[in-house]
Amino acid sequence: MTASKLSGVLAPVLTAFTARAELDADRSVTHCQWLLQNGCDGLVVFGTTSEANSCSVFERYDFLEKLVSAGVQPERLMPGTGCCSLKDTIELTRQAVQLGCAGVLVLPPFYYKQVSVDGLFRYFSHVIEAVNDERLRLFLYHIPPISMVPIPLDLVERLRDRFEGIVAGVKDSSGDWAGMQTFLQFAEKGFDVFSGSEEYLLPLLQAGGAGTISAAANVIPGTLQALYQDWKPAGADQQQTAIKKISTVLRSKPLIPSLKAILAKARRDASWKDCRPPLIALSLKEEEDLFAALDNAQFEWPEFG
């Protein structure tokens, strides 16, 4: 049996926390369900936007079990499983495969910098060989502005040659379109390239990419899905321009607290502002400025029942 294939609009799902910085599974599950009902093709739980690396392995393991038990289809999930610890990455990846998830998104080990391609190749090889399951679909997570450990093109080539069909794609969050295009050369060979920002959704689709894993999908999933569904007509340029305006506003303040502030207002639930330290909520002035700028950008506020 092979894993199902994800494409389109995926959200790196915001994680709800309590005022005591405890993971709030119930509210997080509710948000996941809303995203799937309102435009997301799939979910990346425990991505960067999820504050994954502020969560323990046990929390990540436990929440994924609860999410699937709550009825979220595992074939619509691509959990983030990359950790600095090789053993932790293996454990989380094995769980995701056993639950039937469509794939896993794996950061390179990011504590040690300037590591060799040989070292990265051995790391990913150990993960794949330890999980030892033909259903595994591993997506490399290229986010050098945060991890400071890039995914080099020659690493992709070596992994694809050694683990054809298992190393299934990449999420490129570099913000570098020229670099993204180098990954896209593999798109015709079944290698799925996702943009890490909604700003590149249209050009990526035009170049043969698979879609976007977009933080903004937490609050505008329908808008992104509309572009994904109808990106060929000339009017798609205007849709992409409108999305970029919203994206620029979202990134004018710390992104994760900004998205949580939007959810808190739209859901009328101030608890959504809570982040896990070291992240903190926006100040009242930052919130006011953000909301005013969003209104000027013709942001459509998400609606919740």
- Provide the residue ranges of all domains of the chain, joining segments of one domain with +: 8-232
Q: Which residues contact 9 (CB under 8 A, 6 or more apart)?
A: 39, 40, 41, 42, 211, 212, 214, 217, 221, 224, 225, 228
What is the overall mean pLDDT for the chain? 96
pLDDT in tens, 112-123: 999 999 999 999
Tell the burial category of 127 from Cβ atoms under 10 Å away from its Cβ (0-12, 13-18, 19+).
buried
pLDDT, mean of residues 269-286 = 98
**Regarding the domain delimited by 8-232, which CATH topology (the fold level of the hierarchy) does it fall under?**
TIM Barrel (3.20.20)
What is the predicted pLDDT for the residue at 300?
Answer: 94
pLDDT, mean of residues 207-222 = 98
pLDDT, mean of residues 80-103 = 98
| pLDDT band per the 50, 70, 90 thresholds, residue 188 | confident
For the chain, the straight-line distance linking the first and the last C-alpha, in angstroms and rounded, comes to 38
> In a 3-state reduction of DSSP, which class is residue 163?
coil
**pTM score of the predicted model:** 0.96
Angstrom CA distances, 230 to 43, 202, 227, stand at 21, 10, 5
What percent of the chain stands above pLDDT 70? 99
Is the Cβ–Cβ distance between 177 and 207 less than 8 Å?
A: no
Structure tokens at 303: 């609606």
Other C-beta atoms within 10 Å of 175: how many? 15
Reported in sequence order, the residue ranges of the chain that DSSP labels E, i.e. its strands, are 8-12, 42-44, 104-106, 138-142, 167-172, 192-195, 211-213
Other C-beta atoms within 10 Å of 187: how many? 16
What is the predicted pLDDT for the residue at 27?
Answer: 97
Tell the burial category of 99 from Cβ atoms under 10 Å away from its Cβ (0-12, 13-18, 19+).
middle
Nearest residue to 13 via CA among 305, 247, 251, 260: 260
CA distance 203 to 181: 10
Residue 1 has pLDDT above 80, yes or no: no
| pLDDT band per the 50, 70, 90 thresholds, residue 234 | confident
pLDDT in tens, 287-299: 999 999 999 999 9
> In a 3-state reduction of DSSP, which class is residue 50?
coil
Residue 3 has pLDDT above 90, yes or no: no
